[in-house]
C-alpha cells in the first residue's frame, strides 16, 4: 500500500468509525469472569493507546485467537500525540489525529470495555471498574503518564488558562486558540520538565512549531523556552542550530531554568534567575507512571516509574502484571514507536508463557523519532536497542544516528511513519 492509498484508507475507514458508538461488554453493570473454556486464558489490557492497542492485537494474532483479550479504555476516541505539535503550528487540526477504535476491536476479536479502572486486585487477579469488574490470567498495564503538580499545585486547577497540552486533545486546541488570539509582539513562554518525560509531543519541536507560526503570522512575537535540563535533551545539535539560525530573534532558549512560582492570573512565572510575564504560558509538568500503574502498585515509590523485566515486561514487584509504554523506568525513549515495540515483545512473551514455552532471550528493536521544525521539514533520530543479559536492560547498539539537517524529504518520511503506525495499531 503506497502513501496515497494508505492516506485514503485511513481517512475512509478510521475516520468514518467516529460516528459509531464505542460500546463495551460491561457498559451495563456486571462482571466478565466467565472465561471461554476453549481458550488458553485471558489477558486484560488497561489502556487503549499505542502500547495497549499493539499488545492486544499481537496477542490475538500470535496466539491464533486462542488467548482472550479484553481492553479497558475510558476514552471513546484515539488521539495521537505524535504530530500533535503541528496543530499548534497550524498545519494540522485535531481531527487529522483523531480516530475511532471500531476496526481495532472488530478485526481481532478483542472484547472492548469503555470504562475507567478504579482498583486492581493483583492477589485475586481482578480489575475493578466503575461499572463492573473483569478477571485475568495476565494483566498488561499501558497507562501512559500522569502529571506531577507537587511544586506548582495551582497549575493543576488552571488547565483552561495554562494548558500543558501534553496529552493531545482539547488542551492542544485550547493552546492553539490562545496562540491565535495573542497579539503580534506578544511572548509565548514554555517550560521543559527534567527528563525523563513523554516524547512526543516533543518540547523542542513544539518551540519550533510555535516559532514557525510566529515567523509567518506574528513576526514581532517571541518564544522563550525555560528548560529545567542543563541542555537540550534530544537532537541537541540540530535543534540548537534551528533555534539560532532558522528562528534567530524569535526563540530564546534558556537552560537550567526551573519554574519555582506561578501567578495564574497574570501568567507570570519565577525561576531562580528571573521573573517573566507571558501572553501565552505553556508549563509542561514533570511526569510519572499513569494512574492504573499506581492502582496496581507497580510504580516505584522513589522515582514514580515502573520496574520491569525487559524479556517479558512483567513487573519486578507484582507477578502476572506487565507494564509497557511510557510508564517504564528505563533508559529508553518514551515514544510511540518505543511503546509499540515494547508491546510486541510483551505480547510475544505472554503467548509463549501461556503456551508453556520460553520467551525470546535476546529481544532487539529499533526506535525512530521525527520532529518537525516547520510545516514541511523534519529531522529524526534512530537507534537500535539490544538486550544485555548481564545488565538485564536494553542498551543502544552501534549504528543509528541523527539527520544531517532538516529536509522536506524527512517531513514526508515522518508523515508516512505516522500513517504506518496508525494503520498498525488501529486496524
Q: What is the spatial distance between Cα 90 and Cα 73, in angstroms, rounded to a whole number?
A: 29
Residue with the bigger pLDDT between 360 and 31: it is: 360
The average pLDDT across 178-183 equals 98
pLDDT higher than threshold 50 for residue 3? no
pLDDT for residue 130: 98
The string of pLDDT tens digits covering residues 211-251 is 999 999 999 999 999 999 999 999 999 999 999 999 999 99
pLDDT higher than threshold 90 for residue 7? no
The string of pLDDT tens digits covering residues 386-423 is 999 999 999 999 878 999 999 999 999 999 999 999 99
> Is-contact 349 313, C-beta < 8 A?
yes
The string of pLDDT tens digits covering residues 69-106 is 999 999 999 999 999 999 999 999 999 999 999 999 89
Record the cell numbers describing residue 185, joined without a space: 509582539
Parts of the chain belonging to CATH 3.50.50.60 = 3-146+288-358, 149-285
Q: Which CATH homologous superfamily contains domain 149-285?
A: FAD/NAD(P)-binding domain (3.50.50.60)
pLDDT higher than threshold 70 for residue 175? yes
The string of pLDDT tens digits covering residues 130-139 is 999 999 999 9
Nearest Cα residue to 3 out of 427, 426, 423: 423
CATH code of the domain made up of 3-146+288-358: 3.50.50.60
How far, in whole angstroms, is CA 6 from its chain's centroid?
Answer: 23
Question: What percent of the chain is predicted at pLDDT more than 70?
Answer: 91
Q: pTM here?
A: 0.92
> Is-contact 292 321, C-beta < 8 A?
no
Amino acid at each position: 500500500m503506497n502513501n496515497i492509498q494508505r492516506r485514503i484508507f485511513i481517512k475512509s475507514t478510521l475516520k468514518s468509525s467516529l460516528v459509531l458508538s464505542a460500546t463495551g461488554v460491561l457498559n451495563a453493570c456486571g462482571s466478565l469472569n466467565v472465561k471461554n473454556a476453549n481458550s488458553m486464558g485471558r489477558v486484560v489490557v488497561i489502556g487503549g493507546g499505542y502500547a495497549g492497542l499493539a499488545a492486544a492485537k499481537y496477542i490475538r494474532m500470535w496466539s491464533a485467537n486462542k488467548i482472550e483479550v479484553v481492553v479497558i479504555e475510558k476514552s471513546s476516541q484515539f488521539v495521537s500525540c505524535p504530530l500533535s505539535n503541528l496543530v499548534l503550528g497550524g498545519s494540522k487540526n485535531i481531527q487529522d489525529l483523531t480516530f475511532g477504535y471500531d476496526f481495532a476491536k472488530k478485526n481481532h476479536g478483542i472484547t472492548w470495555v469503555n470504562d475507567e479502572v478504579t482498583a486492581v486486585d493483583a492477589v485475586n487477579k481482578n480489575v475493578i471498574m466503575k461499572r463492573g469488574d473483569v478477571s485475568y490470567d495476565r494483566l498488561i498495564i499501558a497507562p501512559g503518564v500522569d502529571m506531577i503538580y507537587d511544586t506548582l499545585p495551582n497549575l493543576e486547577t488552571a488547565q483552561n488558562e495554562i494548558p500543558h497540552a501534553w496529552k493531545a486533545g482539547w488542551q492542544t486546541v485550547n493552546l492553539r486558540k490562545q496562540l491565535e488570539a495573542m497579539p503580534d509582539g506578544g511572548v509565548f513562554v514554555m517550560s521543559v520538565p527534567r527528563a525523563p518525560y513523554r516524547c512526543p509531543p516533543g518540547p523542542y519541536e513544539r518551540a519550533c512549531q510555535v516559532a514557525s507560526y510566529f515567523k509567518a503570522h506574528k513576526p514581532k512575537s517571541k518564544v522563550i523556552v525555560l528548560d529545567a535540563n542543563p541542555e537540550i535533551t534530544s537532537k541537541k545539535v540540530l535543534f540548537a542550530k534551528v533555534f539560532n539560525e532558522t528562528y534567530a530573534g524569535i526563540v530564546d532558549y534558556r537552560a537550567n531554568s526551573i519554574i519555582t512560582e506561578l501567578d495564574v492570573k497574570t501568567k507570570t512565572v519565577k525561576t531562580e534567575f528571573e521573573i517573566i510575564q507571558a501572553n501565552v504560558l505553556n508549563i509542561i509538568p514533570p511526569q510519572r507512571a499513569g494512574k492504573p500503574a499506581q492502582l496496581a502498585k507497580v510504580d516505584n515509590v522513589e522515582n514514580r516509574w515502573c520496574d520491569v523485566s525487559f524479556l517479558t515486561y512483567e513487573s519486578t514487584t507484582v507477578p502476572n502484571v506487565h507494564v509497557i509504554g511510557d510508564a517504564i523506568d528505563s533508559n529508553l525513549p518514551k515514544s510511540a514507536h518505543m511503546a509499540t515495540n515494547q508491546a510486541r515483545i510483551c505480547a510475544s512473551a505472554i503467548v509463549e508463557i501461556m503456551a508453556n514455552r520460553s520467551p525470546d532471550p535476546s529481544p532487539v528493536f529499533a526506535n525512530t523519532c521525527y520532529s518537525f521544525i516547520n510545516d514541511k521539514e523534519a529531522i529524526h533520530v534512530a537507534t537500535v536497542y539490544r538486550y544485555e543479559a548481564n545488565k538485564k536492560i536494553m542498551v543502544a547498539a552501534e549504528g543509528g544516528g541523527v539527520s544531517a539537517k532538516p529536509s522536506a524529504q524527512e517531513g514526508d518520511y515522518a508523515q508516512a511513519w505516522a500513517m504506518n503506525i496508525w494503520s498498525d495499531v488501529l486496524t
